[in-house]
Chain A
Amino acid sequence: VRLEDPVAFVDRRTSSAPFLKKALRYAFPDHWSFLLGEVALYAFVVLIATGVYLALFFEPSLSETVYRGSYAPLRGATMSDAYRSAVDLSFSVKAGLLMRQTHHWAADVFVAAIVVHVLRVFFTGAYRRPRELTYLVGLLMLFLALLEGYLGYSMVDDLLSGMGLAIGYAVALSLPFVGGNLALLIWGAPYPGDDAFESRMFIGHVFLFPAILATLMGIHLALVALRHHTQFRGPRATERTLVGVPMFPGQAPRSLGLMAATAAVLFGLGALVQINPIWLWGPYETWLGTNGAQPDWYLGWLIGGLRLVPGFDVTIAGRTVIPNPFWGGALFPLIVLGVLMAWPWLERRLTRDGRSHNLLDRPRDAPLRTGFGLGFLTWVVLVFFAGSSDRLFVWLGLDYVTQIWFWRFAVWVIPVLVGVVTARTCRGLRQVEAVEAERAAARLS
């Protein structure tokens, strides 16, 4: 078969040969850090594939049933069909547990890959004009991914799910003015809510949020392609000229290889490393709780925020105005999202640099950005650590109350120090470089 024939077949029906030719020769700058976003993309592919499989077995229903399945310790326990079907698909469906664990691992890796990708984009200044929209869409996806993951482990209706949902309900309630109304709208009734709430989580997790995420991903990739990739400065790589490997044949097998590698790691983890053993948590009831329950890692910063706030509700004349969970559970993440979204414009104002940039900075090239970014990151990471202070107590024996008091101050002091030291270090490194360049020039002349 001549290769020309199928190509001509497609072109005669779509007139797309000129576009295809351009697409095959789209240039990818060659740097390992540009693959982080691709890892997130491929984790999403694994999530869709394993998620569809799971949805073929999971029964999103809160109808009560008595467990009579193959896991002996739970036999005779009253539980919802949701939890029962999740336990059944883990023990009685061949490959069910592999798919469930791979799905859970993929969710953790998906968020982790996005976070590292955002860090790369931030510290190299890739978000600058003309790529601000790409960056904003990316941030939106990060926060939607957190919500999507939260819904995923919440709808299983095990004890961990329930404890997480109770907190989510309290955070929704805590919003000023609208909290009570909003929580009732979402849950359908006071907590634990209407039975239909389970269906709402399910349709949100398997359809609504994935569809929004996929759409945003398409927009994100289209925006990248329209403006082309950024690149690091090189002998031939300039603001006007992009140097890279073509999509075909160079990048395609490499990227497919990355997809296979991502899937290999995720299925390897799913097969060999246990995650979220829901049968150990048991079914959830409003009145049950357990100590040492840990959510997925990407919610750790919110747990930290909730734990660190001192015990007070804002009240006026015997009425609560702002309940406590608002600060750590709602305002804190909104500030993080807001600051990250506003940063490109904030930086433009501070540095008076509104030009278009196709070349990336090294972190040291932008002391203000790198100092601020590392300080801000430290703030969030320290709050995250505060969220694991109960674990630190168990592992290291550090007194919990002392730790919380320590973190309450440390999360404000340490980020400022980190920011200042980082900015100074960047300036110092640049001075050293300038001196060395001068010496080299002197030697030449």
Chain B
Amino acid sequence: MRPLARKLLALFVVAKAVRTPPPERERIVAAGEPARHELLIAGLLVLTAAAAAVSVVGYGLGWSLQAYGGALAAALALGAVALVLAAEHLVVTEELEEPYPPEENPEASGDVAAIVRESGSRITRKRLLGGAAGLAGTALGAALVAPAVSLGPVFDTSRLQDSPWRRGTGLVDEQGEPLSADDIDQGPFYTAFPEGGDMKSIAAPLVLVKLDPARISVRPGWAPEGIVAYSKICTHAGCAVALYRNPLFDPTEPGPALVCPCHYSTFDPAAGAKVLFGPAGRPLPQLPLAIAGDRTLRAAGPLSGPPGPAWWGVRSA
């Protein structure tokens, strides 16, 4: 019995030693009052878990976006309330006073400068070496950046003026079917493309409208039977000129006009697409039209100017 009792006693002593808390130390965080609203906050956390679970179940069951997404948002909101309440009532609330860091550290700053200066004290040809290092750095930088030129034809801005429109190019619709003069009625507007050309090119799309030939004041020869064709890309900022303001009541409404929906540049189709209002700085380029023997529409020449928005050095008309 005695050895067993001794062993038990030893075990007790060891356990006691392990359990003994470390010696008391001064508190860093103020003790404060006992916490409040513990049950409320615990309840909110349980509700958070419940809402999150509902969201997962709803996602799994294929509930509507509003239902399971709303449950997720509710879970986050409940969690937020729990956390804010915890900050106010659960944890120690205290205010610290702390000195701002010094405005400057002159001694250390001086040391830093001295370290740099003294490190180079053996160098006698500072300018020469500095210049050479600068040269090496610049050239290396240029060599590393040079491959970026492959991104695009950066030195060849002439490509911006590419146009598929030449004398004789046929006009087709969005499906690629040739456009006939008989397809064009007065009232709506039509979009046309070059036959066999890249439809997506900024120079390709045209906007066609038919006007009373007597009203056409600029280049009437380019508008057979009153059909005028302009580049559909606004000369201001490159949007498609997709609005046609055709009056229903002549005396009170303004005359027909092509309008860009981005910044409302307004062009007069009867006057060579002259700018009536808005920020565009030049008219839409016009395409001279001709009607072939089979009544299909063809270009009688190239566009009157570079299509689309302008850039430094481009022809301005």
Contact = CB atoms under 8 A, between A and B. Distances in A.
A254 B88 CA distance: 8
A130 to B, nearest CB: 7
Interface string A184-195: 111111111010
Contact of A312 (B90, B97, B281): B281
B255 interface: no
Given A243-B96, A290-B242, A271 B70 contact: yes
B151 A185 contact: yes
Q: Which of B69, B74, B98, B241 gathers most chain A CB within 10 Å?
A: B69
A226 B77 contact: no
Interface string B306-317: 001111111111
Interface string A252-269: 111011111101110110
B62 interface: yes
Contacts of A98: 65, 68-69, 72
B289 interface: no
Given A170-B236, A260-B79, A320-B310, A267 B69 contact: yes
Contacts of A321: 312-313
A95 B64 CA distance: 9
Contact of A130 (B83, B103, B160): B103
Contacts of B204: 286-287
Interface of B: 28-29, 59, 62, 65-66, 68-70, 72-74, 76-77, 79-84, 86-87, 90-101, 103, 148-149, 151-157, 159-160, 162, 191, 193, 199-205, 232-233, 236-243, 260-265, 275, 277-282, 308-317
Interface in A173-199: 173-192, 194
* 3 interchain residue pairs of minimum CB distance: A271-B69, A313-B281, A257-B83
A194 B152 CA distance: 9
Nearest to A182: B154
A228 B238 contact: no
A181 B316 contact: no
A311 interface: yes
A347 B187 CA distance: 59
Contacts of B74: 264, 268
B157 A181 contact: yes
Given A191-B238, A192-B202, A323-B309, A94 B152 contact: no
Contact of B312 (A94, A176, A241, A268): A176
A169 B238 contact: yes
A270 interface: yes
B96 A167 contact: no
Interface string A159-171: 0000100110111
Contacts of A242: 97-100
A330 B91 CA distance: 51
A25 B28 CA distance: 10
Q: Which of A190, A192, A287 gathers most chain B CB within 10 Å?
A: A287
A401 B310 contact: no
Nearest to A238: B100
Contacts of A293: 261-262
Contacts of B28: 25
A279 to B, nearest CB: 14
A239 B69 contact: no
A324 B265 CA distance: 12
Interface of A: 25, 27, 30, 94-95, 97-98, 130, 163, 166-167, 169-171, 173-192, 194, 200, 226-228, 236, 239-246, 249-254, 256-261, 263-265, 267-268, 270-272, 285-293, 303, 306-313, 315, 318-325, 328-329, 356, 358, 390, 400-401, 404
B71 to A, nearest CB: 9
A312 B98 CA distance: 60
A173 B83 contact: no
B237 A166 contact: yes
B97 A174 contact: no
A83 to B, nearest CB: 14
B87 A323 contact: no
Contact of A240 (B99, B201, B277, B310): B99
Given A250-B94, A253-B86, A286 B76 contact: no
A254 B94 contact: no
A184 B312 CA distance: 13
Contacts of A190: 159-160, 162, 201-203, 308
B313 A319 contact: yes
24 contacts: A27-B97, A98-B68, A130-B103, A163-B261, A169-B238, A173-B309, A177-B312, A184-B152, A184-B157, A188-B152, A241-B99, A242-B100, A243-B96, A246-B94, A250-B93, A254-B83, A264-B79, A267-B69, A271-B66, A286-B200, A311-B279, A319-B315, A328-B279, A329-B237
